[in-house]
Amino acid sequence: MPVPWLAIEVIPTCGFPYARISHRRIWKIRARFARPTVGGVSCKPLNQQAKCLDGGEPRPMKVVVCHSGGLDSSVCVIRALNQGHELLSLGFNYGQRARIELRYAKNLCDRFGVERKVFRVPRWSRPPRETHRDRDIEEIRQRPSRGFLPGRNAIFMCLAVTEAIGRDADEVWLGLNCIDSPGYPDCQPAFVEAFERMMTVGTDHPIAIRAPLMDLSKPNIAAEAREYGLTRDDVWSCYRPRRKRGGSYERCNSCDGCGVSNHAWEMIV
């Protein structure tokens, strides 16, 4: 019989069901659930986190969210805030073409009163990559964009864990999902679980790594964003922003980022 302080947490995953006892005294039961309908999204956590066995609500935690300014990570920020967690929005400036996304992340943090921090990753000489254009949603699902940078998420996650340890945080959240990004190896449950095991072995302060949107489609995520009061104009997903006169930017509406984003928002209109 579980001891009284043991909390039960139900976590959806794209993998097979299993259960384990975590280093944080939480019994995690991972199982596949039917995905919620687009119209049925609420502001409550979609991972159906159970109440503590003593009848109380799950305790507030310190959470570091990797927050690019895109749809997925922005929903993670507000979901964590909605759950009452002490929150840090962590961004990364690595010379990306779409640095405008950092401005969108800051605007969202200012709007909701969330602490924001940006790490600079200097001298990252990335090979030039020309992204795909005008692919439909099925093509995008079949194979990754040519702009995919192998190892990028792992680097960001290492930095996020380091920041979390310094803040004595409980969890690091990532806006990854495997439903509409099946071809990306670092957006899969196996990657997140392997990374968590590595950091548990390699640090003296294990941090739980969570991807709370992993088992949701993009339209599901957009529907949750709308429940939080967000629109597509509050987040940035374009890989190839065009600068206009006056210094503002507009979306290209041809890259994979725009294709997935447009599909998501159009499905919930």
Domain-embedded: residue 30: no
Q: What is the mean pLDDT of the chain?
A: 80
pTM (two decimals): 0.78
Domain-embedded: residue 7: no
- Secondary structure of the chain: what % helix, strand, coil (to 5)? 35, 15, 50
Domains in the chain, number:
1
Domain housing 69: 53-267
Domain-embedded: residue 42: no
Whichever domain contains 81, its CATH number is 3.40.50.620
- Say whether pLDDT at 147 is over 60: yes
Domain-embedded: residue 17: no
Domain-embedded: residue 147: yes
The pLDDT tens digits for 109-126 are 999 999 999 999 887 776
Domain-embedded: residue 128: yes
Residues 6+ apart with CB under 8 A from 210: 11, 171, 172, 173, 174, 192
β-pairing verdict for 18-21 and 26-31: antiparallel
Q: What percent of the chain is predicted at pLDDT more than 70?
A: 76
Domain-embedded: residue 93: yes
- Say whether pLDDT at 17 is over 50: no
**88 strand-pairing partners:** 64, 115
Domain-embedded: residue 215: yes
How is 101-132 classified by DSSP, letter by letter? HHHHHHHHHHHHT-EEEEEE-----PPP-PPP
